[in-house]
Chain A
Amino acid sequence: KAGVTQTPRYLIKTRGQQVTLSCSPISGHRSVSWYQQTPGQGLQFLFEYFSETQRNKGNFPGRFSGRQFSNSRSEMNVSTLELGDSALYLCASSFGTEHSYEQYFGPGTRLTVT
């Protein structure tokens, strides 16, 4: 079974620009979550989608948004990029949205904002 895939793997953007990251979950998984990983803050939850609905949202500004499509694929968008948005963005998929399900992570997208 193929794992979680994320595209692109690396991205360099300039302050003020916007960026869209993509995530394809494991086949059969309907829940997709996004996390931001930085050296200072560690791993922080961004949002979770299940059946095209946002179920939970972390403490991030409105510049961070996401969506999920009917095939469970998900995208996250960051508008008006800031230097502090430089991070590894990890997508995770799980079978369901219950807290008992383990999440499987993709390789991440490394975003650098200059």
Chain B
Amino acid sequence: AQKVTQAQTEISVVEKEDVTLDCVYETRDTTYYLFWYKQPPSGELVFLIRRNSFDEQNEISGRYSWNFQKSTSSFNFTITASQVVDSAVYFCALSEARGYSTLTFGKGTMLLVSP
């Protein structure tokens, strides 16, 4: 069965520090997608990125970057020069070809960025 593990429950950093959120997944499918979502205190999950299982290129979007490694089944997320507004819970999620668009989420990592 599919599974997503986010081992870091909570991370606290000071503004401008870089921070990496870890995500490890398990799936038997060869075709799958990985996602990152952000959940601020308001509760709404905000889509950040989608990556398919055939594309291992790293991606950078502004201060955000993602490192996808199939060899270690990991899809890590790095925030460079963190800001207070980055404080939120971040979820990694997996969808498999046979599961329609159903997402399997990790438990989330709470990121606290202090001034």
Contact of A48 with B101 at beta-carbon distance under 8 Å, contacts A42-B108, A99-B32, A99-B95 already known = yes
* Contacting pair A103 B99 (CB below 8 A): no
9-residue interface stretch from B15-23, B43-51, B57-65, B69-77: B43-51
A87 CB, nearest partner CB in chain B, Å:
11
If over half of A's interface residues share one DSSP class (helix, strand or loop), that class is named, otherwise mixed; here it is strand
Interface size on B, residues (CB 8 A): 28
Counting from the closest, the 8 A-B pairs by CB-CB distance are A105-B45, A43-B105, A99-B95, A107-B44, A97-B100, A42-B107, A108-B43, A56-B100
* Contacting pair A33 B108 (CB below 8 A): no
Question: Within B36-56, which residues are at the interface with A (CB < 8 Å)?
Answer: 37, 42-47, 50, 52
Please give, as numbers and ranges, the residues of chain B lying within 8 Å of A100 by CB-CB distance. Answer: 33, 50, 52, 95
Closest residue of B by beta carbon distance from A42: B107
* Contacting pair A94 B42 (CB below 8 A): no
Interface size on A, residues (CB 8 A): 30
In the complex, whether A15 has a CB less than 8 A from a CB of chain B is no
Please give, as numbers and ranges, the residues of chain A lying within 8 Å of B108 by CB-CB distance. Answer: 42-43
A33 CB, nearest partner CB in chain B, Å:
7
Closest residue of B by beta carbon distance from A99: B95
Question: Within B5-37, which residues are at the interface with A (CB < 8 Å)?
Answer: 31-33, 35, 37
Q: Find A45's partner among B32, B33, B44, B102 (CB 8 Å cutoff).
A: B102
B61 CB, nearest partner CB in chain A, Å:
14
Cα–Cα, bound, A44→B107 (Å): 10
Q: List 18 A-B contacts (CB under 8 A).
A: A31-B101, A43-B108, A45-B102, A45-B104, A48-B100, A55-B100, A56-B99, A90-B43, A92-B45, A97-B100, A98-B100, A99-B98, A99-B101, A102-B50, A103-B47, A104-B47, A105-B45, A108-B44
Closest residue of A by beta carbon distance from B43: A108
Question: Within B79-95, which residues are at the interface with A (CB < 8 Å)?
Answer: 91, 95
* Contacting pair A99 B100 (CB below 8 A): yes
